[in-house]
A and B are shown apart, each in its own frame.
Chain A
């Protein structure tokens, strides 16, 4: 009887192991398949259109005859919005994480953590809509611009989206610093501020960098909110207070219209490859930093 029971357990063990293995393999296979599909569709563009004019072309007029698929204005649009968002989100995020991890009393810490994570749960379209009716008129008024639909509005809104990622990973990194570091610093007569600035932040630096990289990854892939509030003009941006068109918004806005198998359709997949490469690079650097931390 006992023998049978052991036998049954072995079988269950075996089946579960295979099921989990399959689940793992499937998720990897999906990534590979997606990349292959992207490559296949995106590279088809270069049969008829030169890769050089795609990567370095300065204008994006996809439905003209002949069309122009210069990705530079879109790329720069994404960069301007992302940089702006990160410049806003990182100082705020670092401050919030330090406060939550080190300064706030225990009861407040739990509430704040919950609220920051709740911020991550707000759908991006809702943030975009709120930005459109509240932030956009303010930006127009404050900077005296002809329109509030600018890279700046997008950057501010996206900063809110990057914050939860940055704060929660950074907070983890800070709490992971061994208690002995804190005790040591205080024993040497450091003030709380000196301890945070000179000991905790350097000790948690790779975690902090990882948090920033993942925040960037979150921002550069964001679509709906930027499409609603950045104005979508495919120009080369010279200032953050101008309208821009990001890569993601271009794909979203034009995919429905592009006839399958047309040059335009392939060009949108080309942008997809570019985006995929950028986010891959960012995630790769982030995991590099996380590994170094361990």
Chain B
């Protein structure tokens, strides 16, 4: 018993002495740059970072997702070096940033088209923005109202931390009208990722959802979309998104705050250069037009 006590005492003293030492040992002297934000862009960001680190072996960059909102919150609180966002900042957020002493700069690094997808068995092939708005606000509840089968519509949206959620809300649900107050139907399912929307659409005949063009798979059907009932109905692809014919495309952004570290500046030049834009294309996003 006595020995046990001594042993315990020895252990606790050892712990107190060595715990701080061991944590110090982990501190490194090379800085890892943190990039956070859009889930839509996380694969793209990782591909950029990998290629950049291959070209600059001494640079270290970590890219993580979490949603554009997460990235914006992180750049505002200074916990990342660069944020990836698939939506522009709101006026309120810009004002907040300026007040907190972190004025934010947005740089367009690519484009993304948001594809509207349904189950392959669905006879509907095209919708206009007004119809989409009516579906996502819950005014139209059955596919037969749109010339489809007599089947209730299952509305799938991304979760609120997604840039795609906010973009789709502003451009489609509210039809691009600034003052509009339409909301996603409260019956809309909030899905955690592009992948989970594809998963749900391919297994559910009545489902409709929206995803980044890069996530379209052959198991789902992509709808043609028009600005108004008059047409023209446009299929989303590289050319229609770049030319702006396809109505639901958006810029992919880098958000930076204050003066940029030279490494981050190199990184930005790399992303905007031919190598970076080639990666955009490989990952099924839309590269910027050659100037």
Contact = CB atoms under 8 A, between A and B. Distances in A.
B161 A257 contact: yes
Given A253-B159, A259-B93, A227 B5 contact: no
B160 interface: yes
Interface residues of B, number: 37
A231 interface: yes
Contacts of B186: 59-60, 73, 233-236
A254 B2 contact: no
Interface of A: 9, 12-13, 15-16, 19, 59-65, 73, 137, 140, 146-147, 149, 227-228, 231-236, 243, 245, 253-254, 256-260, 262
Contacts of B12: 19
A61 B96 CA distance: 21
A291 to B, nearest CB: 31
Nearest to B183: A61
A260 B152 CA distance: 39
Interface of B: 2, 5-6, 8-9, 12, 66-70, 72-73, 76-77, 93, 96, 152, 154, 159-161, 166, 181, 183, 186-192, 200, 203-204, 206-207
Contacts of A243: 187, 189
B190 A245 contact: yes
Nearest to A258: B73
Nearest to B154: A146
23 contacts: A15-B9, A16-B8, A16-B9, A59-B186, A63-B166, A73-B186, A140-B204, A147-B189, A147-B207, A149-B200, A231-B189, A232-B192, A235-B187, A254-B160, A254-B161, A257-B67, A257-B68, A257-B72, A257-B160, A258-B69, A258-B73, A259-B72, A260-B76
A235 B189 CA distance: 10
B186 to A, nearest CB: 4
Given A16-B8, A256-B161, A257-B160, 17 more contacts: A9-B2, A12-B6, A60-B186, A147-B204, A227-B192, A228-B192, A231-B190, A232-B159, A234-B186, A235-B187, A236-B186, A253-B160, A253-B190, A256-B67, A257-B68, A257-B69, A259-B72
